[in-house]
Every structure is written in C-alpha cells, then in structure tokens.
Amino acid sequence: MAKFLLRRLLNYVLLVAVATSLAYLLAASALHPRVNYEGRAPRPSEAVIDAKLDALNLNDKTPLWERYGTWATGVLHGDFGKTWLGESVNAEIARRFGVTLRLLVTGMVVGGVIGVLLGALSAVRQYRLTDRLITAGSFLVMSIPVFVLGVLLQVGATKVNDVTGLKIFEFSGEYAAGLSGGFWAQLADRLKHLVLPTISLALGQIAVFSRYQRSAMLDVLAADFVRTARAKGLRRRTALLRHALRTALIPSVTYFTYTFGMLLVGTTLTEKIFGWHGLGEWFVDSVGQNDVNAVAAVNCVAAVLVLVAGLASDVVYAVLDPRVRVGG
C-alpha cells in the first residue's frame, strides 16, 4: 500500500506543479495589474507605477519567464508573494482556507453519501415510482446552474422564515454580526448559516452520484456473485449491502476525484452568493482586480485539494477492491 500511494503521490505532485505553473503563466499573460494604478486620480507617474509593480513582481515590462522564475522560487520556499495592494498572499490564504474547507467537506460528505444511497435505492427499485422520482429530481437539479439554485434557495428560505415568523434559515455570511453568547449559541448560529450553502453544493453532488451509482449498482445486481450469495442463503438485504453495494461503490470512488473538481467550481459561486469570505470569493475578486499572484495561489490550493481527494480515492479504492495489487 505504501509503495502504491507513494507512486501515486509523485504523479499528483507533478500534475500540481504543471497545473499551477500554467495557471500563473495564463494569469500573468491575461491580467494587467498596471490598470489598477493608472486609474487612480491623480495618476501616479510611470516610474512610480513601474517601481511598485517591480516590488510586487507584477511588472508587465519584465519578461514573463523572468517573472515566473521569481514567483516559482518564492513558491518553492513557501511564499506566494504579495497581492497588488502589497498584502501577503499567504496570510490571505490562511484566513480564507478554513472557510472554503468547511463548505467543501460538508457539501462533499452530505452530497456523496446521500447520492450513493439514492442511486443504490433507485437501482433496487428499478422502473418503480421511487426510481422515476429520483431520476426526475436528479435531472432537474443537474439542469439548474449553481448560482440559480443558490438564489432559489434564498427565496425559499425567506418565505419559510416569513411564514413561520422565525429565522430558521440564515444566508448572509458565516455568522450573525455582533453575535454574543456561549459556545452552543455560536455553534447553532454558524450551523444556521451553513445549511443553505451546504444544500446548494450537495444537491449537485447528489444528482450526479445518484445517476452514476444507479448505473453501477444495476451492473452488479445482474452479476453471478450476487445470485450465488442469495443461493447460499443470505438474506436479500445482506447480499445487497455486503456484496452488491460494496462492489458498486468502486467506480463511484474513482469518479469522486473528478466530481471534486466540479465541487470546487461550485464553491466559488456559492461563496459569492451567500457572502462567505473564502478562497472562491477571493478568486473571483482577484480576477476582477487583475491580481496575478492571488489568482495563481488559489489555483495552486485548488490543485492540492484535488490531489488530496485523489489520494483519498485511491486509498478507498484499494480497501474496497481486494484485487488491487498495490505492490506491483
């Protein structure tokens, strides 16, 4: 197992390096931090602007490969440089990373678990009402863009709050401004703010995984080993859970790494819609501000998160499938 994971890790590290480098080169080519200074009134002199951009390694008059070399050297030493305002990119990542991670983990766990269970149920109840309802709901959710889904959830939450006269749902920020009270009061407030963003992310995951898991489960249900298990006297539920579902999970685990990338994109939009000050919101703002170092840093963090998801997928795959020979 260790040899297998090490080999996979080396592959992922190489992919992260390539992806991050391409992201920086694209950002440095397409974004123009100079306009942030030229639009000021009074407009600074050209020499002042050049000096400021040189200090931040953002001067477009400097050859691209030279800027990339300076940036890459800093990254290798753990320094992602400065924003166009001169603030530490590392400090901003540290402040925002936990916000994004909370959304990712909750959306991933809730969406993945419910999606797999609904997909398995849909396969077991093939062509019945349950299967048709799950199928229709999945296609409906997949046809709605994330930002539209987020707005619809906000509208629905507002109506529920108005009808009940209670603030059951909160959807602006991570917590209420000026919140006071003990640990449990603060936890309850944060959970209220977390519900709608989590639903917004999880619904897409549920829709995708339910479709994928249904297909995988149908293939397994028709396999000989499931019929053999039933013929040996195992109850239907035991055969489905212990043999069919475990085997059908294998392709879903492999697919997880790819859906995790889509979840990152959904997080970016969700943070903007619900006012969560995470990496996704910062990325959108940084593109608008022509902030090359910030854009490259967020892409690097996203690539690392996909790497971690890929490793987790490999571990679970090896656990579920005993045929995997990790030492070969």
pLDDT at 26 over 60: yes
Q: Which domains does the chain have, with CATH numbers?
A: 2-320 (1.10.3720.10)
pLDDT at 243: 64
Q: What radius of gyration do the chain's Cα atoms show?
A: 24
More confident residue, 112 or 254: 112
Q: Tell me how far apart the alpha carbons of residues 13 and 10 are, in angstroms, rounded to a whole number.
A: 5
The two structure tokens encoding residue 208: 């995708």
pLDDT at 323 over 70: no
Q: Which residue is it, tokens 């489960």?
A: 217
Query: How many angstroms separate the first and last alpha carbons of the chain?
Result: 10
- The average pLDDT across 103-132 equals 90
Q: Tell me how far apart the alpha carbons of residues 119 and 258 are, in angstroms, rounded to a whole number.
A: 18
Q: Tell me how far apart the alpha carbons of residues 222 and 324 are, in angstroms, rounded to a whole number.
A: 23
Closest of 69, 57, 97, 31 to residue 291, by C-alpha: 31
More confident residue, 15 or 261: 15
The two structure tokens encoding residue 266: 């959904």
Q: State pLDDT tens for residues 252-273.
A: 777 777 777 778 878 888 888 8
pLDDT at 226: 67
The two structure tokens encoding residue 289: 């501000």
Q: Give percent of the chain with pLDDT exceeding 70.
A: 88
Q: Tell me how far apart the alpha carbons of residues 14 and 297 are, in angstroms, rounded to a whole number.
A: 17
pLDDT at 74 over 60: yes
Cβ-contact 257, 12 below 8 angstroms: no
pLDDT at 9: 78
- Whether the model clears a pTM of 0.75, i.e. scores above it, the answer is yes
pLDDT at 248 over 90: no
- The average pLDDT across 77-81 equals 92
CA atoms lying within 13 Å on the CB side of residue 115: 32
Cβ-contact 119, 214 below 8 angstroms: yes
Phi then psi for residue 233, to 5 deg, are: 105, 0
pLDDT at 289 over 70: yes
More confident residue, 265 or 54: 54
Read off the DSSP letter of residue 243.
I
Q: State pLDDT tens for residues 179-231.
A: 676 777 778 888 888 899 999 989 988 998 899 888 888 888 777 666 676 67
The two structure tokens encoding residue 175: 């917590």
Among the residue ranges 6-15, 69-78, 143-152, the one predicted with the least confidence is 6-15
Among the residue ranges 24-38, 112-126, 166-180, 237-251, the one predicted with the least confidence is 237-251
Among the residue ranges 111-115, 136-140, 162-166, the one predicted with the least confidence is 162-166
Mean pLDDT over the full length of the chain: 84
Cβ-contact 89, 74 below 8 angstroms: no
